[in-house]
Amino acid sequence: MPLISASDLPPGDPPEHYCYIGRIGRSFQLAGGVRFYPVARAEADAIYNLGDVFVPALGQRRVRRVQPKGNEIVLYLSGIGSVEAARALANEAVYADPEALPEPPEGSFYVDELVGFRVEVGARAFGEVAEVIPGVGQDLLVVAHDEREILLPLQADYVRVDEDTRTIIVTDPPEGLLEP
């Protein structure tokens, strides 16, 4: 059986070890550009240095160009040269090979690195991050707690990440959020 290179990965699920780095938004102008919404600062910085990304609807694609536009990032991918093709990608997730990701800037992290972090509510242990579910406006942490899973919105004001201690600290969550 011949080996498949990363550039030949077909559409579908990303390779298991790939990291979720963001989501595609609306098309930009007429040349096939799409708005790219990174999950965090590290992913925003990383997209400028990546040669390839994986988009489930497309498979592995070469990053032709990345262009800052005000507060937004516009991404141009190989094979996407029209506004119609770009529109079809709205809300698609974007993944990258973790070996291709640069070191995140000081004080930031890649969201997929949160799997395995301890979760504390107030000062007490609550559970552990089992998975990160990418969302359009809010990423969710799947927290394993007492043989069940609780969904915790990562970008909420009451959620803080302490990368040094590998801990997610939840302070004053809304009533009922952490209950079954």
pLDDT at 136 over 80: no
| Among 28, 21, 22, CA closest to 87 | 28
Average pLDDT over residues 28-44: 88
Least confident segment among 13-27, 123-137, 141-155? 123-137
In percent, the amount of the chain with pLDDT more than 90 equals 48
| pLDDT of amino acid 6 | 47
| pLDDT of amino acid 139 | 79
Calculate the CA dihedral of residues 48, 51, 57, 58 and round it to 10 degrees: 140
Average pLDDT score over the chain: 86
| pLDDT of amino acid 89 | 92
Binned at pLDDT 50, 70 and 90, residue 138 comes out as confident
pLDDT at 64 over 80: yes
Amino acid at 72: E
Neighbouring-strand partners of residue 95: 20, 54
| pLDDT of amino acid 135 | 67
Least confident segment among 10-14, 33-37, 41-45, 117-121? 10-14
Average pLDDT over residues 43-56: 93
Average pLDDT over residues 40-55: 90
pLDDT at 8 over 80: no
Do the Cβ atoms of 170 and 119 come closer than 8 Å? yes
- What is the SS3 assignment for 49? helix
Least confident segment among 29-33, 78-82, 88-92, 106-110? 106-110
Average pLDDT over residues 96-117: 85
